[in-house]
Amino acid sequence: MKNVYISVVTPVYKCAECLDELYTRLIASLRSITNNFEIIMVDDGSPDNAWHIITSLATRDKRVKGIKLSRNFGQHYAITAGLDFAKGRWVVVMDADLQDQPEEIVKLYNKAQEGYDIVVGKRVERKDTFIKKITSKLFFTIYSYLTDTNIDGSISNFGIYSHKVINSIKSFKEHTRSFGLFAIWVGFKRIEIAIEHSNRKKGKSSYSIKKLFTLALDSIISHSDKPLKLFLTSGFMLSFLSFLYAIFLVIQFYIFSIPVTGWTSLMVSIYFLGGIIIACMGIIGLYLNKIYDEAKNRPLYIIAATTFKE
Ligand code: UDP
Ligand code: MG
């Protein structure tokens, strides 16, 4: 199928220096699959000269399509913007910082031809910082437990997705967005294959610990209602335990005539229960906040400019 149409969608933020190399390597890799492709680069309010580079690539080669968002919306919003314009029979989603290697697209595509709708890269050896690897592992362990799934941190966004998959993902209008998690949720025939992951060539990861924590919490709250259930169960457990404790105290008093002493235990239980009640309210608050966010129904991204006619 020399003429299959492939779209590559890549969000760009703080990695302008990588774009020329990304372009050259993408062209070489895509050419070996098809003559028919587009490369959609979404400038996610990048503070460097990314837009300048994207526009000059786009004037040189019409297959490069640039979309400039009005500010920094975040990686997953930028991906959403790109997908909305992608016309390919197959869509590749990848990072722009060359950690996802353009040459691997051939491998992903060939695997997809065996009859899969989703082929996602599994990073054999993640070339990220130690902190990033640890926090990611922790997140996926908690996430998998809370959502009854089994995902590990080696799965990336980097993959090839059929237009059926992309159309389903495009119907997701929710504001807490994670492309990788959506791609799991939609189902379809999916496989993960080993790929090389590379170090970030220029600049450093734009995800700070704080940003990662917010993303992790958001993803958990929007994909799982287990925290609510856990608190409900622990509430009942606590009541049951206190009932047992009450029986124990009554026996102590009437049978062994040990008077109830108790300033310390009283204080401890007040603070303990107070803490749990406040935490419960916090958790409910988080869910409520999510509902509020969704109810506002704002646009997912705003486009400031494109290099092509919409
Ligand atoms: N990115 C983005 N908007 C952001 C942060 C990141 O579009 O606010 C893009 C970035 O250009 C890159 C990808 O998301 O293509 C992954 O970002 P990064 O390399 O900073 O994170 P990491 O590789 O550490 O996950
Ligand atoms: Mg990166």
Q: What is the DSSP string of 245-286?
A: HHHHHHHHHHTS------HHHHHHHHHHHHHHHHHHHHHHHH
Out of 10, 12, 13, mutate this one to test ligand 1's pocket (max ligand atoms within 8 Å of CB): namely 13
Q: From the alpha carbon of 11, which atom of ligand 1 is closest? A: 7
Classify burial at 18, counting beta carbons within 10 Å of its beta carbon; exposed 0-12, middle 13-18, buried 19 or more.
buried
Q: Is there a contact between 84 and 170 (Cβ–Cβ < 8 Å)? A: yes
pLDDT at residue number 181: 84
Q: From the alpha carbon of 204, which atom of ligand 1 is closest? A: 20
Give residue 93's identity as a one-letter amino acid code.
Answer: V
CB 55 near ligand 1, within 6 Å = no
* Rounded Cα–Cα distance for residues 237 and 209 (Å): 34
* Nearest CA residue ID for atom 16, ligand 1: 95
Task: Tell me how many degrees the CA angle 52-42-189 measures, rounded to the nearest 5.
Answer: 150
Radius of gyration of the chain (CA): 25
pLDDT in tens, the chain (310 residues): 568 899 999 999 988 888 999 999 999 999 888 889 999 999 999 998 999 999 999 999 999 999 999 999 989 999 999 999 999 899 999 999 888 889 989 999 999 999 999 999 888 777 777 877 888 888 888 888 888 777 776 777 899 999 999 999 999 988 888 888 888 889 899 888 888 777 776 767 777 778 878 888 888 888 888 888 888 898 888 888 888 888 888 888 888 887 767 777 788 888 888 888 888 898 899 899 888 988 998 999 999 999 987 7
SS3 state of residue 169: helix
> Which residues surround the ion ligand 2 when the cut-off is CB under 5 Å?
97, 99, 200
pLDDT at residue number 65: 93
Q: Is there a contact between 46 and 12 (Cβ–Cβ < 8 Å)? A: yes
DSSP-assigned states of every residue in 37-50: EEEEEEE-S-SSSH
Ligand nearest to the CA of 18: 1
Å from CA of 206 to ligand 1 middle: 6
Six-digit token string for 270: 């007040």
* Nearest CA residue ID for atom 2, ligand 1: 75
CB 78 near ligand 1, within 6 Å = yes
* Nearest CA residue ID for atom 23, ligand 1: 205
Q: Is there a contact between 68 and 290 (Cβ–Cβ < 8 Å)? A: no
pLDDT at residue number 1: 56
